[in-house]
Amino acid sequence: MCCSRPPPASWRARATTASATPPADATGAGPVPRRSSPRGGRTMTRPVTTSLPAAFDSRARWIAVASAALALVLVASMARAADAHGERQSLRAPSDFGARVLARVNDAVITGLDFQRAFDALSADGQAAVRQNPRKFLTVLIQREVLYQEARRAGLEEDALVRERLDQMRRAVLIDELSRRQQARAAAEIGGDEARRYYEANRAQFTSEERISASHILLATREEAEAGAARLRDGADFAALAQEVSRDEKTRDRGGRLFVVFRGRLSPELEQAAFAATPGVVTGIVQDADGFHLVLVHDHVPAAVKPFEAVEAGVRAKVVSAHGEQRLHEFIAQLERRARIEVNGGALADLR
């Protein structure tokens, strides 16, 4: 959990002050039997809380509360996946921030170091939100702490399902950390020229597509198209004419604008004429299956390879990721060869 606290009193110590009669449960349904701890065969009695909030009057809901309070354990693993959408950065804070006590919750304290660690585990979007409102994030940490303390007070640490879920979380974190370290070692193996070699071998990946920005007027007959072309030659505004006579209902109200168009998005006849047109000059009449077109190209951007300097950071990240995945698969294969693995294929035969 995020906070520093003194060791909790044991259930044995608390049991010495408990009533000899088992207390009623939170709903007042009568005595709740005490449970024995499996640790070392010792019998450990404890009172069951009688002050649970109504919203959490069932064990299943308390398990959900405990899981929410302990979910920060997995945030660091999930945050790495979220980094694909942004770049995380460390919190800029005074040098003594880590030692500051930001809040006290009963006997526990939330320090600046707790705040920093929770912040570092967030996605880039989450970090941006915290920078805008750090007080709200502290409130979240306080809420998690009060939930955590109440879950412990309710004895959920002894619940078999909670212990199982905590063990699953622990396994997931250990696996994730081992994988991360293997990939970090692999990243250190990547030299400065690896990104350049990948770039040169895959230039097509870094080539922007040829594109145009254009408008068109669609007409039903050649006679209509010739009349429209004549009006344009006489100085009619292309957009106004499109709104008046074009039969393309999708573009008519916006003056025939097609906006950005890449190759392969138009009919072959229209594409050939549009991509060959001189920007600012209306094409001749173009016929295709839809009818007769008049086309005005506003801008034409040819295909171009992005310079290495513009994509270097992304290329290196891609190379490092691919190399790390390869090394991780090799590491797993090595572990599998060293392990004694027995598979009972017949046990899966009835699954559908």
For residue 92, give the amino acid letter. Answer: R
Q: Which residues, including other chains, have CB under 8 Å from residue 124's CB and lie 6 or more apart? A: 82, 83, 85, 86, 87, 88, 89
pLDDT at residue 87, rounded to an integer: 63
72-95 pLDDT, tens per residue?
A: 444 444 444 444 445 667 788 899
* pTM as predicted: 0.49
For the chain, strand residue ranges (E) read: 101-105, 108-111, 207-208, 211-219, 257-262, 286-288, 291-301, 304-305
pLDDT at residue 274, rounded to an integer: 96
200-253 pLDDT, tens per residue?
A: 999 999 999 999 999 999 999 999 999 999 999 999 999 999 999 999 999 999
Enter the tokens of residue 43: 């019998």
- Please tell me the distance from the alpha carbon of residue 312 to that of residue 199, in angstroms, as a whole number: 8
The answer, yes or no, to whether residue 261 has pLDDT greater than 70, is: yes
Residue found under tokens 């980094």: 83
Instruction: Give start-end residues of each CATH 3.10.50.40 domain in the chain.
Output: 210-302
Which CATH number describes the domain made up of 210-302? Answer: 3.10.50.40
168-197 pLDDT, tens per residue?
A: 999 999 999 999 998 888 888 888 789 999
Enter the tokens of residue 184: 């970090």
- Average pLDDT (256-275) is 95
